[in-house]
Structures are given as structure tokens and as C-alpha cells.
Amino acid sequence: EVQLVQSGAEVKKPGESLKISCKGSGYSFSSYWIGWVRQMPGKGLEWMGIIYPGDSDATYSPSFQGQVTISADKSITTAYLQWNSLKASDTAMYYCARQVGGGSAWFSDYWGQGTLLTVSS
Amino acid sequence: DIVLTQSPGTLSLSPGERATLSCRASQSVRGSHLAWYQQKPGQAPRLLMYGASSRASGIPDRFSGSGSGTDFTLTISRLEPEDFAVYYCQQYGNSVYTFGQGTKLEIK
């Protein structure tokens, strides 16, 4: 059974750093892209970027380029989303999702349960 | 970036009725690479359709998708109580993937 299990909810202060995780199981983790999606409170879905754990090749949405870092460690089948300096506007639910498809056209078939991030002074 | 506009914003229908949700793109979606997701309160999104008209594994056949170019439609033939949720379209044909703003399907 394919599963993506995300790390737990976080409460952080502005300016702090953070790395949240997404552990995959039940499939060949290195062979599937993993995507990250943001959902701000009461709002819609925003695509942040994707990574190929096999070689850590990552692509970012221009809206998130330079704001976050997406990484992966295939040895422990885990992908990460990282901030160096959090802002209150980073408060949101963050989802990871396995990507399927082909030819640089990837959609999300399995999703993690989400990690709720609250940034407040 | 491709902007996806979903309509209506909210759709009020009764169980047993037919639902038609629209997703319009600001430019042509390459390869009809358009997906639909369902999201219920407190849950992660769930994949319904991909490639505009292919149903994901385990999705009932009352769900169908159609369209190409800039106009896409998700149809639910006969609404079941569990279908009331928010629906998002997503294009993944261009290098920057984008979602629509969502259509809330509520019980009338």
C-alpha cells in the first residue's frame, strides 16, 4: 500500500527555520517525483514544486523559488520542505504528494495527510 | 503562468441531481494535461480524474471528465451524499503547474 506520512504540526516564531518531512512507503520511492502543495487557511491549493528523489532534481514554482528548499534523502525514503526564515504568511497546511504521469507532465495520485504550520510571534 | 478559472464558485444541488463543474484556462493546456481533485473538510485532496477524461483508480463511474484546449468539465451524473465537497482542477501540461480556485458543491 502506497503511503506518504508527514511530520506533525509545528508552531514557530517569525525568523525561525524549519524542515518538515514526508516519508514514503509501499512503492519505489526513488522512482517517483514528489510534489509539495500549500493551502493557506480557508483558501485553495497552490503548487510549490517537485523533486525526483533518485537524483534530487528539483523544480520550483516561481512564486516559491528562493522562499523554500525542497530536498530528499532516498536512503530513508523521505522528502523535505525547508524554510530558513519563517514569516507569518507561511502559516498554512502543507501537503506532499506522489507524482505520476510522464513526459514532464506529473499529477498527484497519493497525498500525505498534511502538516499544519503556524507562524506567530 | 496558466490561470485556471473554475465556475461556479458554489453549486447548490440535491442528492440524485447532476452536477456540472467548469474549469477554463487562460491559454491552451498542453496535451489536455488536466486533473480534478476532491477535497473534504479536514482531509487531503483526492485524485478523481487525469488527462482530462481518465478516471483514477477506485473512482466511481458517476464521475466523468471532458474537454480540451482551454475548456474542461467535470460531471457527476447522480450526486451521492459523499460527493458534497470542494473540487479543484489542476493543469500540469505547462512547466508551472497551477490549480483553479475551487468549486464548492453543497447540499441544497
| Nearest CA-CA partner of A22 in A86, A82, A105, A62 | A82
| Nearest CA-CA partner of B1 in B23, B24, B26 | B26
Nearest residue of A to residue B101, measured between CA atoms: A44
Positions of E strands within B32-101: 34-39, 46-50, 54-55, 63-68, 71-76, 86-91, 98-99
- Flag if A101 and B92 touch (Cβ within 8 Å): yes
Put simply, the chain A residues between 5 and 64 with a CB less than 8 A from any chain B CB are 35, 37, 44-47, 59, 61-62
pLDDT at B16: 97
Cβ-Cβ contacts under 8 Å, A114 against chain B: 44
Tell me the pLDDT tens digit for each residue of B15-72. Answer: 999 999 999 999 999 999 999 999 999 999 999 999 999 999 999 999 999 999 999 9
- Flag if B37 and A104 touch (Cβ within 8 Å): no
Centre a 10 Å sphere on the Cβ of residue B40 and count the other Cβ atoms it contains.
Answer: 13
pLDDT at A103: 79
Q: Is the pLDDT of residue B95 over 90?
A: no
- Flag if B100 and A112 touch (Cβ within 8 Å): no
pLDDT at A104: 83
Specify the amino acid at residue A88. Answer: A
